[in-house]
Chains A and B, each alone.
Chain A
Amino acid sequence: QQQVKQSPQSLIVQKGGISIINCAYENTAFDYFPWYQQFPGKGPALLIAIRPDVSEKKEGRFTISFNKSAKQFSLHIMDSQPGDSATYFCAAYHRGAQKLVFGQGTRLTINP
């Protein structure tokens, strides 16, 4: 049972465009929502994260939008660059269970 659903599975964006990846969850016990970036041959690395009491968080070209009532959150990458080509995972953290649950992943390709 996938507790965090992520879409799309793959995404191709032109350089300079906006990349958008969406995630949805069901369990209201999740209380922290990080995004991880993974390059080929490497492990995932924390990119940006948000708490549910905030609707948006921006770090450089990366923005998380969070809709608590809809139980959805998304990652926006502005001015996408070829170096952003990677696999992106959304995740949800259950503080009580001390566990991190991942979405299915999105393979992002930025064409030059």
Chain B
Amino acid sequence: NAGVTQTPKFQVLKTGQSMTLQCAQDMNHNSMYWYRQDPGMGLRLIYYSASEGTTDKGEVPNGYNVSRLNKREFSLRLESAAPSQTSVYFCASRELLIPDGYTFGSGTRLTVV
């Protein structure tokens, strides 16, 4: 099925541990995004990649790094997890210049204890 695939779906980390969230899309989209969703805050942009080979900071980039591995894959890394990073993380992709072309994955629910 075409779409955005995120792994893992659930993860529990201890404070200070690191992990990488994986995202892959099979729609040949140029742009990919990482958002976090918190109650009462909506979805906030962490990092994005407008096209393969480029990455830029979003609204809340502190504590995260990203890698655009190729056109299909965009990973999000937490180097030293903190309880404030407990959230649901969504990856999205879209074709550049199409404002309503966002396709979201099903999310990764991360808990940092």
Inter-subunit contact B45/A46 (CB<8 Å): no
**Out of B48, B96, B104, which one reaches A44, CB within 8 Å?**
B104
Size of chain B's interface in residues, with CB distance under 8 A? 24
Binding site for B on A (CB under 8 A): 2, 4, 6, 9, 32, 34, 41-46, 49, 89, 93, 95, 98-105
Inter-subunit contact A44/B43 (CB<8 Å): yes
Please give me the residue from chain B that is nearest to A95 by CB atom: B99
Please give me the residue from chain A that is nearest to B6 by CB atom: A43
Query: Within 8 Å CB of B41, what residues of A?
Result: 2, 104
**Out of B35, B44, B50, which one reaches A98, CB within 8 Å?**
B50
Inter-subunit contact B44/A32 (CB<8 Å): no
Inter-subunit contact A93/B99 (CB<8 Å): yes
Inter-subunit contact A103/B104 (CB<8 Å): no
Closest chain-A Cβ to B68's Cβ sits at a distance in Å of 15
Taking A43-B106, A44-B102, A98-B50 as known contacts, 13 extra A-B pairs with beta carbons closer than 8 A to each other, sorted by chain A number, are A9-B40, A32-B99, A34-B100, A43-B4, A44-B43, A49-B100, A89-B42, A89-B43, A99-B45, A99-B48, A99-B58, A100-B45, A103-B42
Q: Is B21 located at the chain interface by the 8 A CB criterion?
A: no
Greatest chain A CB density within 10 A among B4, B31, B45 is at B45
**Out of A4, A41, A100, A101, which one reaches B102, CB within 8 Å?**
A100
Inter-subunit contact B96/A6 (CB<8 Å): no
23 sampled A-B residue pairs with Cβ under 8 A: A2-B42, A9-B40, A43-B92, A43-B106, A44-B43, A44-B90, A45-B104, A46-B100, A46-B102, A49-B100, A89-B42, A93-B99, A93-B100, A98-B31, A98-B50, A100-B99, A102-B42, A102-B44, A103-B42, A104-B40, A104-B42, A105-B37, A105-B43
